[in-house]
């Protein structure tokens, strides 16, 4: 499927409407995902991962503290001989590595993904000097260093100690009745159970203190075991909150990226609109306009021959009628290229089946969409436009003998997606050439904040598709 400049065209109003709807949708906040209900059973299911996170947190924090302290103060001490600059840069990158380990470990512990900072400005090329001095002016590096030098060691010592104590009491208490009879008692004269009973009831206990202690240990072990999920979840959340505040991207950065993405998608939509208008003008000029000129000339010639040569006039009028029919059919074909009535009445799946039926190359339609499923008008209109463009290229340039068209609704990282694909067994070699068909499709899809995928090795097969976000 080789890229072609000729394609169905889209009117200004349709593209402008799609652009406005897309920008408005993208600027609106996405609905918050529904959090799964937290139950006691779900807390227990998270205990193994959270325990793994908490038990390792202090050793990793102490190693990070030792490494960062050594690098940082060595760098500060050698600044006078300039070597310290490079050591401090190494300190920043090392702090970044330890902070990244913390973020990854939290994800493994079942916490929600933390958006990481953008370390290099997207609008500036990477260079040696930027990599050398950039960390000194990047606030994220300083926060990562503070996290590794001070905050994480302190919090990790507290959380690790509480975790070890809680697990030890739970395991020791629940299993004490097994191993405690084998522990020599010697001349022991202090028993916790009898001490508690004597203090509470102000009387001297008469039960066997050894048995009392074992019962007390079982009760304590059961209590600590029952509350263990709350402890591990709470301590993991504490680390998560600290990491989000110190190791995550700032909200202003996310907003800046969102504005940049919106600007890019809006620019792509404007470019696609301009390309569509130029194609529409060219198609009208090369097709219906030429036929209408021919029709006008045939009618004028027939008028001149009506009086002296009625038979020739009748022949010219018949040709003019044929020209009018061909012009009407060509205008219908152009209208089907951007917004056929079937698309508006019955939806994308029915319009795609109609498009496949009109293709000179056999096209099989496969769809996972529910019968009659509808999407936003701008999404359906642009998805159909992509399919119409691909079908036109398929017939003109692919050299294929058969093709398959896929419609699918899937879930992506940013939410639900509509995917449309066309695959063929042709010669392949399709590529995006600036100013031509596939390049224009890419601009149109990006205008809706989607993605165009082209897989077309030389020799085939060709697989081209688009993903549209369903806001």
Classify residue 148 by its DSSP letter: I
What pLDDT is recorded for position 163?
95
What pLDDT is recorded for position 5?
36
Please say if the pLDDT value at position 126 is more than 90: no
b/e string for 226-262 if b means 16 or more Cβ within 10 A? Answer: eebbebbbebbeebbebbbebbbbeeeeeeeeeeeee
- Any idea which of 24-28, 223-227, 245-249, 422-426 has the lowest mean pLDDT? 24-28
3-state percent breakdown (helix, strand, coil) of the chain, nearest 5: 65, 10, 25
Q: At what angle do helices 251-286 and 310-338 cross, to 10 degrees?
A: 170
Percent of the chain clearing pLDDT 70 (strictly above): 69
Q: How far is CA 261 from CA 121, 155, 194, in A?
A: 15, 38, 70
The residue that leads in pLDDT, 4 or 360, is: 360
Taken in order 68, 69, 72, 75, the sign of the CA dihedral is negative
Q: What are phi and psi of 415, to 5 degrees?
A: 135, -170
Q: What is the dihedral of CA 13, 16, 22, 27, to 10 degrees?
A: -130
Q: How many CB atoms lie within 10 A of CB 65?
A: 18
Read off the pLDDT of each residue in 330-347 and give the average, rounded to a whole number: 65
What pLDDT is recorded for position 17?
42
Of the candidates 462, 457, 468, 363, the residue with the CA atom closest to the CA atom of residue 420:
468
Average pLDDT, the chain: 77
pLDDT digit string (tens) for 344-389? 778 888 888 888 888 888 888 888 888 878 888 888 888 888 888 8
Enumerate the domain spans of the chain.
12-25+339-469, 46-171+232-249
pLDDT digit string (tens) for 130-175? 667 778 888 899 999 999 999 999 999 999 999 999 999 999 888 8
Residue 211 CA to residue 205 CA, distance in Å, equals 12
Work out the pLDDT band at 76, boundaries 50, 70, 90: very high
pLDDT digit string (tens) for 410-423? 887 677 888 888 88
Please say if the pLDDT value at position 314 is more than 80: no
Q: At what angle do helices 12-27 and 377-397 cross, to 10 degrees?
A: 130
Q: Which CATH architecture has domain 12-25+339-469?
A: 2-Layer Sandwich (3.30)
What pLDDT is recorded for position 390?
83
Read off the pLDDT of each residue in 276-290 and give the average, rounded to a whole number: 61
The answer to whether the beta carbons of residues 118 and 221 sit under 8 Å apart is: no
Read off the pLDDT of each residue in 58-73 and give the average, rounded to a whole number: 95
Query: DSSP states of 236-256 as a string?
Result: HHHHHHHHHHHTSPPHHHHHH
Residue 102 CA to residue 210 CA, distance in Å, equals 45
Percent of the chain clearing pLDDT 90 (strictly above): 25
Please say if the pLDDT value at position 256 is more than 70: no
What pLDDT is recorded for position 232?
95
pLDDT digit string (tens) for 15-52? 334 443 443 343 333 333 444 567 888 899 999 999 99
Residue 388 CA to residue 384 CA, distance in Å, equals 6
What pLDDT is recorded for position 217?
82
| 3-class DSSP state of 430 | coil
What pLDDT is recorded for position 89?
92
The residue that leads in pLDDT, 223 or 199, is: 223
pLDDT digit string (tens) for 414-447? 778 888 888 888 888 776 656 556 777 777 787 7
Residue 200 CA to residue 212 CA, distance in Å, equals 15
Residue 127 CA to residue 134 CA, distance in Å, equals 10
How remote is the C-alpha of 300 from its chain's centroid? 62
């Amino acid at each position: 499927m080789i890229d072609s400049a000729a394609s169905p065209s889209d009117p200004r109003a349709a593209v402008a409407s799609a652009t406005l709807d897309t920008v408005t949708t993208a600027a609106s906040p996405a609905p918050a995902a529904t959090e799964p209900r937290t139950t006691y059973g779900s807390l227990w299911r998270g205990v193994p991962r959270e325990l793994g996170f908490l038990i390792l947190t202090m050793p990793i924090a102490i190693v990070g503290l030792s490494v960062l302290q050594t690098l940082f103060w060595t760098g500060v001490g050698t600044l006078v001989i300039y070597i310290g600059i490079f050591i401090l840069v190494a300190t920043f990158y090392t702090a970044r590595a330890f902070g990244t380990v913390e973020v990854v470990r939290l994800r493994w512990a079942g916490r929600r993904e933390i958006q990481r900072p953008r370390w290099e400005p997207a609008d500036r090329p990477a260079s040696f000097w930027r990599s050398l001095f950039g960390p000194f002016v990047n606030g994220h590096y300083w926060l990562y260093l503070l996290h590794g030098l001070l905050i994480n060691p302190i919090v990790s010592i507290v959380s690790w100690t509480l975790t070890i104590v809680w697990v030890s009491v739970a395991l020791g208490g629940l299993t004490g009745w097994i191993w405690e009879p084998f522990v020599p008692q010697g001349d022991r004269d202090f028993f916790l159970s009898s001490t508690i009973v004597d203090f509470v009831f102000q009387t001297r206990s008469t039960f066997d203190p050894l048995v009392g202690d074992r019962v007390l240990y079982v009760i304590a072990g059961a209590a600590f075991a029952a509350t263990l999920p709350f402890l591990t979840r709470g301590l993991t959340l504490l680390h998560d909150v600290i990491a989000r505040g110190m190791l995550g991207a700032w909200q202003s950065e996310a907003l800046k990226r969102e504005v940049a993405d919106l600007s890019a998608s809006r620019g792509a939509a404007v470019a696609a609109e301009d390309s569509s208008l130029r194609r529409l003008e060219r198609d009208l000029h090369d097709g219906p306009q030429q036929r209408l000129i021919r029709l006008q000339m045939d009618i004028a010639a027939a008028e001149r021959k009506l009086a002296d040569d009625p038979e020739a006039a009748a022949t010219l009028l018949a040709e003019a009628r044929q020209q009018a029919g061909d012009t009407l059919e060509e205008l219908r074909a152009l209208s089907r290229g951007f917004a056929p009535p079937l698309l508006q009445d019955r939806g994308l799946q029915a319009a795609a089946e109609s498009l496949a039926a009109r293709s000179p190359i056999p096209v099989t339609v496969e769809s996972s969409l529910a019968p009659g499923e509808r999407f936003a008008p701008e999404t359906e209109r642009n998805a159909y436009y992509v399919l119409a463009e691909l079908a036109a290229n398929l017939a003109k340039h692919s050299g294929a003998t058969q093709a398959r068209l896929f419609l699918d609704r899937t879930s992506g990282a940013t939410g639900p997606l509509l995917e449309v694909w066309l695959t063929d067994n042709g010669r392949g070699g399709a590529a995006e050439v600036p100013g031509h068909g596939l390049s224009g499709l890419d601009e149109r899809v990006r205008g809706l904040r989607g993605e165009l995928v082209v897989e077309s090795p030389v020799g085939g097969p060709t697989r081209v598709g688009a993903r549209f976000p369903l806001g």
